[in-house]
Structure 1
Amino acid sequence: MNAVVQCVNSTPGLSEFLVHLDCTSYSGEPTHGETVQELAAIVKALWSGRHKSESLHDLKNAMGRRHACFRDSAQQDAHEFLLCLLNSLHEELTDVSRKQMLREQDNDGVPDSRAIKLLQDDSQSSSQSPISNLFGGQYKSTLRCVSCGNQSAKFEAFSHLSVPMPARASQCSLHECIQLFVEGDTISGWTCPECQSSDGATKRLDIRRLPPVLIIHIQRFYNDGAWKKNQSSVLFPLKNLDMSPHLATEDAHQQHHRYHLYGVVNHYGSMDSGHYTAFCRAPNTDRWHKYDDHQVHERSGGSVQSSAGYLLFYSAIDQRL
Structure 2
Amino acid sequence: MSAIRNDKVLGSSHILQQDKIIPQREISAKHTFHENDHAFYSTWESTVQKREPPKGLPNIGNTCYANSLLQVLGQTPFLNEKLVSCIDHSLKRFDYQTKTTVTSAFRNLLRSMNSLTFDPILAAGMISALMNKVSSREHEFRIGFQNDCHSFFLALLSEIYDENQAKEATRIFEIEMVDEFYFDSCVHNVEGGLDSLLNEEEFDEADVPCRKCGSGGKGKTRKAMAFRILPKVLVIQLGCFQEKSYGGHLHIAKSLRRIGFAEKLRVPKSNGSSVTYHLYGVVNHHGSIHGGHYTSFVKNLSPNTEHWYYCNDSNVTHSTLTEALKSRDAYLLFFKM
TM bucket (normalised to shorter chain) is: 0.5 to 0.7
Deviations 1:131-168 (A, max 9, x none): 34311111124689xxx999xxxxxxxxxxxxxxxxxx
In structure 2, the residue matched to 1:218 is 238
The structure, 1 or 2, with the larger RCO (C-alpha pairs under 8 Å, 6+ apart) is: 2
Which runs of 5 or more structure 2 residues have no equivalent in the other structure? 1-65, 91-95, 216-220, 245-249
CA contact (8 A) 2:69 2:296 kept: yes
Q: Is the 8 Å Cα contact of residues 38 and 58 (structure 1) preserved in structure 2?
A: yes
In structure 2, what is the equivalent of residue 140 of structure 1?
A: 178
State yes or no: 1:230 paired with 2:248: no
Contact 2:310-2:317 at 8 Å conserved across structures: yes
Deviations 1:100-146 (A, max 9, x none): xxxxxxxxxxxxxxxxxxxxxxxxxxxxx2134311111124689xx
Report the CA distance between 1:293 and its aligned residue.
Answer: 0.7
CA distance in structure 1 between the partners assigned to 2:315 and 2:200 by the alignment: 40
Does structure 2 conserve the Cα–Cα contact (< 8 Å) formed by 1:33 and 1:92? no
Contact 2:86 2:168 (8 Å CA) reproduced = no
CA contact (8 A) 1:262 1:280 kept: yes
* SS in structure 2 of the partner of residue 233 of structure 1: coil
CA distance in 1, matches of 2:164, 2:140: 22
- Residue 69 to residue 186, structure 1, CA distance change in 2 (3 Å): farther
Q: 1:304 aligns with which of 313, 321, 324?
A: 324
Aligned mates of 2:200, 2:295 — CA distance in 1: 30
Moved more, 223-232 or 6-15: 223-232
CA RMSD of superposed structures (Å): 3.4
Task: Note if contact 1:10-1:280 (Cα within 8 Å) is conserved in structure 2.
Answer: yes
CA contact (8 A) 1:32 1:93 kept: no
- Higher helix fraction (1 or 2): 1
CA 264–185 in structure 1, closer or farther in 2 if over 3 Å, else same: farther
| Superposed displacement of residue 5, structure 1 | 1.1
Whether 2:81 is the aligned partner of 1:16: answer yes
TM value normalised by structure 2? 0.63
Q: Match for 1:86: what amino acid?
A: L
Residue in 1 that maps onto 2:306: 286
- How far has the Cα of 1:40 moved from its partner? 0.7
Does the aligned pair in 2 maintain the 1:24–1:30 contact within 8 Å?
A: no
Contact 1:7 1:263 in 2 (8 A): yes
TM-score, normalised with respect to structure 1: 0.66
Q: 1:79 aligns with which of 142, 150, 159?
A: 150
Which amino acid in 1 is paired with 2:240? R
Q: What are the equivalent positions in structure 2 for 1:159-308 lying under 5 Å apart? A: 172-183=188-199, 204-224=224-244, 225-238=250-263, 240-244=264-268, 247-248=269-270, 251-253=271-273, 257-284=275-302, 285-305=305-325, 306-308=327-329
Structure 1 residue 68 displacement after superposition:
2.4
Q: Distance in 2 between matches of 1:203 and 1:314?
A: 28
66-75 vs 2-11, greater mean Cα deviation: 66-75
Distance 1:308 1:298 in 2: 18
Residue 140 of structure 1: SS of its match in structure 2? Answer: strand
How many equivalent pairs are there?
Answer: 243
Distance 2:84 2:307 in 1: 21
1:36-59 deviation digits (Å, cap 9, x = unpaired)? 011011011111132353221111
Compared CA separation, residues 66 and 186, structure 1 to 2 (3 A): farther
Task: Give, in angstroms, the shift of residue 203 of structure 1.
Answer: 6.8
Give yes or no for contact 1:281–1:287 (8 Å, CA) kept in 2: yes
* AA aligned opposite 1:44: R
Letter in 1 for 2:172: L
Identity of aligned residues (%): 26
Match of 2:23 in 1: none
CA distance in 1, matches of 2:78, 2:180: 33
1:50 aligns with 2:70: no
